């Protein structure tokens, strides 16, 4: 049996934290991809353009840029997700007050499962490892 419930209001800070964490996780994936890209191709381009004199510093610059991308992109995405999550929750609360909330259909899983049968009469109730008092 399914129950219909309506979400009338959303906790602004709660939704903002969830959205910020989701966006930070997405930023981590993107940051690792871009960081590796910057490390490999940035170092290659910098060392090729530096000639014979500054190749080591150019490679180090590409690596530092890649690591900075891996650190800063998830932070940036998380902050943006937090801010826009709060704005989204405020807009949802305003709109749901006018046109109604989001309707969700929930199902109670505990009603779908049968309860297990009781133990046989011959089993002892005190110690679960004790053998039955009467053989079957």
Cβ atoms of 75 and 30 within 8 Å: the answer is: no
The per-residue pLDDT for range 17-50, each reduced to its tens digit, is 999 999 999 999 999 999 888 888 876 776 666 5
Those residues whose C-beta lies under 8 Å from the C-beta of residue 75, and which sit 6 or more positions away, are: 24, 27
- Region 77-86: mean pLDDT is 96
pTM summary value: 0.64
Please spell the DSSP secondary structure of 3-51, one letter per residue: EEEEE----HHHHHHHHHHHHHHHHHHHHHHHHHHIIIIIHHHHHHHHT
Q: Residue 98's pLDDT is what?
A: 92
| Confidence bin at 76 (pLDDT 50/70/90) | very high
User: Given this model, what pLDDT does residue 27 score?
Assistant: 95
Q: Taking residues 62-73, what's their average pLDDT?
A: 87
Integer Cα distance of 90 and 12 in angstroms = 6
Reported as a single tens digit per residue, the pLDDT across 93-129 is 999 989 988 888 888 776 666 677 776 666 555 555 6
> Where do the structural domains in the chain lie, given as residue ranges?
21-103
């Amino acid at each position: 049996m399914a129950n219909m419930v309506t979400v009338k209001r959303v906790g602004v800070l709660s939704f903002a934290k969830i959205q910020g964490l989701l966006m930070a996780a997405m930023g981590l994936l993107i940051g690792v991809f871009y960081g590796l890209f910057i490390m490999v191709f940035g170092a290659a381009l910098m060392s090729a353009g530096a000639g014979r004199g500054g190749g080591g510093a150019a490679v180090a610059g590409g690596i530092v840029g890649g690591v900075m991308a891996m650190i800063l992109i998830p932070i940036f995405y998380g902050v943006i997700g937090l801010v826009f999550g709060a704005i989204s929750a405020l807009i949802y609360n305003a709109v749901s007050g006018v046109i109604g909330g989001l309707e969700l259909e929930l199902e109670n899983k505990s009603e779908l499962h049968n309860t297990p049968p009781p133990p046989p009469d011959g089993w002892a109730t005190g110690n679960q490892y004790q053998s039955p008092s009467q053989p079957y």
